[in-house]
Amino acid sequence: MIGNWFRTGLLMAAIMALFGAVGAVLGGGQGMLLALAFGLVTNLWAYWFSDTMVLRLYRAQEVDQASAPLLYNTVRDLARSAGLPMPRVYLIDEEQPNAFATGRSPQHAAVAATTGILRLLSPRELAGVLAHELSHVKHRDILTSTITASIAGAIATLAQFGMFFGGRDDDNRNPVLALLVLIIAPIAAMLIQLAISRGREYGADHGGAELSGDPQALADALAKIDRYAKGLPLPPAEAHPATAQMMIVNPLHGGGIAGLFSTHPPVEERIRRLRAMAR
């Protein structure tokens, strides 16, 4: 767990260093600050309202103990064990088994699961999945993703400034270096952002396994979800692919080079790590 946090810290430092380098080459101090401000405003708005937006996109319905007793009671018991406030609980009427957590803080959190995951998993496996999602809430992973998205967005904005407006007016600027930065920097920022996302998934697996006390159940759940998700589409995720990174297993499909740009680590590696914990 400490290793995951350390790697995330290194990647956060890397994306900040990349931002500073891009700003120095393309925009200078003023352009760098303008791009950062644009990125922060955009992503803070998304951070503040993302829970409402995503739940509406997935047509999620809030449930209680009477309407979804297993789901609600499992979330309640795990939240209590984790020392978290009780999040709102939602059900999504979709066949693909999947789940996600959202909300800007533990006090404003929501956990959502599809009807497909309730039908597929045993109570033990469901508890492992929900513990994974509550681990995201406890470790404020949504805040981490917002910060990295802000910096990555600012880097892309700086690159666009350089492309359309010629960057900073500096006769000493190396045009070849500037061109390379224009092309490479946004891709590098995106890859670092995706690496941070994958690292947080490993961290949530570890935290969820500790919270539920059953790493094997979470490993079994991931294997089932991945197998069924490959054959069942999730239309809201296909229509809004930016939301796919929230799910416990990637709801979108793509192999080969697409794996490099995946927000989720390989399920096989996640299962291997969880089974090592169980041993």
Give the integer Cα–Cα distance in Å for 57 and 200: 24
Give the integer Cα–Cα distance in Å for 266 and 201: 10
Give the angle subtended at the CA of 224 by the CAs of 81 and 61, to the nearest 5°: 60
Q: Which of 134, 196, 171, 160 is nearest to 9 (CA)?
A: 196
Catalytic hit among 94, 125, 133, 201? 133
Give the integer Cα–Cα distance in Å for 219 and 224: 9
- b (16+ CB within 10 A) / e for 198-232: bbbbbbbbbbbbebbebbbbbbbbbbbbbebbeee
Handedness of CA 214, 219, 224, 225 (dihedral sign): positive
Told to judge if 62 belongs to the known catalytic residues of this protein, a careful annotator would answer no
Q: Which of 163, 193, 188, 148 is nearest to 21 (CA)?
A: 188
> Residue type at 101?
A
Q: Which residues are catalytic?
A: 133
